Amino acid sequence: MPELFIGGQWTTAVDGQVREIRCPADNTLVATVDEAGPKDAAAAIAAAREAFDHGPWPDTPAAERGRLLLRVADLLERDKDALARAESLDTGKRLVESEYDMDDIANCFRYFGNLTAAGGSDRIVDAGSPEVDSRVVHEPVGVCSLITPWNYPLLQTAWKVAPALGAGNTFVLKPSELTPHTAIILMRLLAEAGLPDGAANLILGAGPTAGAPLSEDRRVDLVSFTGGLVTGRRIMAAAAPTVKKVALELGGKNPNIVFADADFEAAVDYALMAIFLHSGQVCSAGARLLVQDDLHDAFVDAVVERARRIPLGGPFDEHARTGPLISAAHRDKVEAYVAAGLAEGAVLRCGGTRPDDPALRDGYYYLPTVLDECTPSMSVVADESFGPVLTVERFRDEEEALTLANGTVYGLAGAVWSQDIGKAQRVANRLRAGTVWINDFHPYVPQAEWGGMKQSGFGRELGPAGLAEYQEAKHVWRNLAPTPQRWFE
């Protein structure tokens, strides 16, 4: 069956290229899918452009657009089991995690459906004269390129597709070439919900071939990308000649700060979840554990003891608590990252190798790893591993904790643990990150904006600002009683 969706039609790649999708848990073949190239990308952009310039979707009333998003939310709930299974096969993620993700995805569409239907973003501006009607209105940006990652394939797609459609845009979606299947299913659900042909377009393929035109083409008005810093820089450069709107979420190296007065058991539990959930393949993972000197030894011992006992397994292994990395190439990168840290003087407390369980031999597994006695000068502290690797740093007091936590080029997320709420709030206020948790880690809601500072990117997803990313503000001034001004008589 063709897997590219262009102009309301399912089609195969022009050049006939295909790609095998293999499950990271055991390297078994999931499916073979079409592999798009520049010609397919150009066709998808043309379809989206035509649909925006001449199709009904941009002029569809906001209330109706919102109702369509709510129908999509219902369809996502109906097909939750099939979607979760498809996501777990592509990513190797535990099925229970994929099921949680599907609930969040439906909630995302429902949030933006209600927000869109409510309207109210336009406003009247006091022009100082009763003879002038002055107002700011919000219009769709146009054709949007949506480029999404492999770690949370449909969740990250929903964060872009729902507000883009809610605002009245058309789009071309390019998911990661490693994890295409839930995006394919979503296109079918959008069509079933009644989205007009051409408003949603899907191409599959690698970034350099299928993705590059989505940033370069002058017919594209906005590029929204979630992924790595290096690729984000390339997208900015590619979009610059045509001065497109760009929104980037580029990951992070997120500090988890634990003061000596923290709730010990809760902080240990969340420190493990912060980094080892989905094998650390989370942009907001708490990969940097900062522990106050007085607590360090006991706290790290407790984290290590529990990390050693985390069972690994595939998506349908009910005993597993974390799974594989996405690919052999990514595991190689994580191994090189750990080797560099040890060479720089980090102390290996656990992990640091592949598991020796024969049942895991065919998958891309790596043991939960803790590197102690790390310092800010180490590359292992500065660079993002995107794997199950926790680095531990010591700090003496509040000021040093902040210096360490903010001493990174990233600024996506962070957390602070203390039973002194005044201290915790002070630290949270000074952390340079787009999301900060106090005595918690990882939760988010679609009503609250998500995004980074510094080299974690710019722009916001979710919340009212997530919708505004896909809108242009226009000031319309209407003179109700025009009379000659006679400037030039």
* Residues belonging to the active site: 249
Tell me if 360 sits within 8 A of 27, measured CB to CB.
Answer: no
Q: Which residues of 381-393 are buried (b: 16+ CB within 10 A; e: fewer)?
A: bebbbbbbbbbbb
The one-character DSSP state at 451 is: -
Q: Where are the alpha helices (DSSP H) in 344-420?
A: 379-382, 398-406
The two structure tokens encoding residue 280: 């650390």
Residue pair 62/165 in contact by the 8 Å Cβ criterion: no
Percent helix, strand, coil in the chain, to 5, is 40, 20, 35
Taking each continuous run of H as one helix and of E as one strand, the counts in the chain are 15, 20
290 contacts 404 by C-beta, under 8 angstroms? yes
End-to-end CA distance of the chain: 72
Q: What is the DSSP letter of 482?
A: -
CA proximity to 227, closest of 148, 110, 319: 148
Give Cα 471 distance to the centre of its chain: 20
Amino acid sitting at position 415: A
